[in-house]
Structure 1
Amino acid sequence: MKYVFATLRTAAALAIVIAIVAQFQSTAAGTEVNPFNFFGYFTMQSNIIAAAAFALSAFFIFRERAQPSWLSYLRALATVVMAIVGLVYNTLLADAGLDGSFNVPWSNDILHVWIPIYAVLDWVLFGDKVKLPFDKLWVMLIYPAIWLVVVLIRGANDGWVPYPFLDPATGYPSVGVYCLLIAAVTILFGYGAYALSRTRILRP
């Protein structure tokens, strides 16, 4: 069974890489690509985190090595951020356009729909993870906090923001509310991920 886990994770990681490359090529064909903008999206960074988590997990499984505890934290983070990507995009951003940054339909579906679904199912169903202590729940906030700080600094300086609800032009009180909402959702989803780290539905 553990090799099934590893194979599925390898396929998911490859799907992410293929989807990102296809979108990058499509964007570059129409305009000069600013990599800081292209990879500045939470979607892109979250999918890269997920791809790394899946690939590293598969590596340890195929090499018959125990997965280190830090990898469970990385996999939990990947689950949380991908769940947020799926939720936010499909409820708030599906019709937003985002300056044509996600204009390859099948790539868009992989990054915003199928990988979020797979990431959650992988974490829920596959029992090759350690129990994560709730007093380390703050670990889930490190990446979103850094991302938000960088986005807000860029928005205040060069005017570029990845998502409309983080645009300073809408007013910093509004942006602040969304930042707090992102933090709250991250903690909520993180709590769920930590709780589910105790499940063992499919054992390796």
Structure 2
Amino acid sequence: MPSRPATPRGLALARLAWGLATLAAIVATFVDAAARGPVNPFNFFGYFTIQSNVLLVLVALAAGIVGLVRPGVQPRWLVAARGLATVCMIVVGLVYVTLLLPVHAAGGVEVPWANAVLHIFGPLLVILDWALTTDRTALPRSAILWQLAYPLAWTAVVLVRGATDGWVPYPFLNPSQGYGTVALYVAAIAVVFLVISWLVVWWSRKRP
């Protein structure tokens, strides 16, 4: 019988290193924001970029530790978490490149190297990790639906906050431009989430 795919030690260490690098970028962003004035944690952690990268930190550290302690096929809960982090980080990269970068918006990350880590290198590395490694099981097709639960909940909270206290994390969600325009952006991003989630699940089943 063929041996079960194992997590190479180097890959496990690389995941740990990237998890720590991402954590450093988040901390640097928080310190930079605090140096310019009081930081409202609900605002700071309200950015989808920050939340997705926090998820990436947790997943990368867990994947690295599990890979070192038990270098075999990773447990299903961890594979599911990796899939969700992959979907979220790909969307982070796409939104940054298509909606924020053209208008020179930092997306809440003013430190240049941290911005690159959180918005560019993070999405690229999760794509490579998901596409090239095999230390995981296939995700069920139902994962496509529950992977959408988190971004839908985040969008709902942002829209409520925009309508009440006026805070929105990204300019394309600002209700001042009209809720029709905001709805178009939300619908477009929802379609992007659905397509990316389908691709992530499909690839996990094609190459488990």
Query: Could you say which TM-score interval applies, normalised by the shorter chain?
Result: over 0.9
Q: 1:60 aligns with which of 60, 66, 70?
A: 66
For residue 52 of structure 2, the aligned residue among 46, 54, 72 is 46
One-letter amino acid of the structure 2 residue matched with residue 107 of structure 1: A
Gaps of 5+ in 1: none
Q: Does 1:115 align with 2:122?
A: yes
SS of the residue 2:195 aligns to: helix
The residue number in structure 1 matching 2:17 is 11
The count of residues paired between Structure 1 and Structure 2 equals 201
Shift of residue 175 of structure 1?
Answer: 1.2
Contact 2:100 2:107 in 1 (8 A): no
After superposition, where does 1:126-145 map in structure 2 within 5 Å? 126-145=133-152
Give the conservation status (yes or no) of the 8 Å contact 1:131–1:197.
yes
Whether contact under 8 Å (2:86, 2:130) holds in the other structure is yes
Q: How does 1:122-201 map to 2 (within 5 A)?
A: 122-200=129-207
- In the alignment, which of 100, 105, 108 is matched to residue 101 of structure 1? 108
Give me the whole-angstrom Cα distance separating, in 2, the residues matched to 1:136 and 1:45. 20
1:160 partner amino acid: W
Cα distance in 1 between the residues matched to 2:99 and 2:136: 32
Counterpart contact for 1:39–1:45, Cα < 8 Å: yes
Q: TM-score, normalised by structure 1?
A: 0.92
Shifted more, 139-148 versus 91-100: the winner is: 91-100
C-alpha displacement of 1:96: 3.7
> Quick one: distance in 2 between partners of 1:105 and 1:78?
23
Q: Residue type matched to 1:30 in 2?
A: R
Cα displacement (A) at 1:144: 0.2
CA distance in 2 between counterparts of 1:155 and 1:97 reads: 22
TM (normalized to structure 2)?
0.91
Answer whether contact 2:107 2:170 (CA < 8 A) is retained: no
Any idea what the Cα deviations from partners look like across 1:163-185, whole Å, max 9, x if unmatched? 11111111111111111112111
Q: Give me the whole-angstrom Cα distance separating, in 2, the residues matched to 1:79 and 1:100.
A: 19
Measure, in 1, the Cα distance between the counterparts of 2:184 and 2:78.
Answer: 32
Relative distance call for 1:176 and 1:130 in structure 2 (3 A) is same
Post-superposition offset of 1:24: 0.8
Deviation at 1:101, TM superposition (A): 2.8
Superposed displacement of residue 133, structure 1: 1.7
**Pair 142,118 (structure 1): closer, same or farther in 2 beyond 3 Å:** same
CA 142–80 in structure 1, closer or farther in 2 if over 3 Å, else same = same
The answer to whether the 8 Å contact 2:148/2:193 transfers is: yes
Once the two structures are TM-superposed, the CA of residue 98 in structure 1 deviates from its matched residue by 4.5
The question of whether the paired residues in 1 share the 8 Å contact of 2:108 and 2:169 is answered with no
Residues 9, 54 of structure 1: 8 Å contact kept: yes
Gaps of 5+ in 2: 1-6
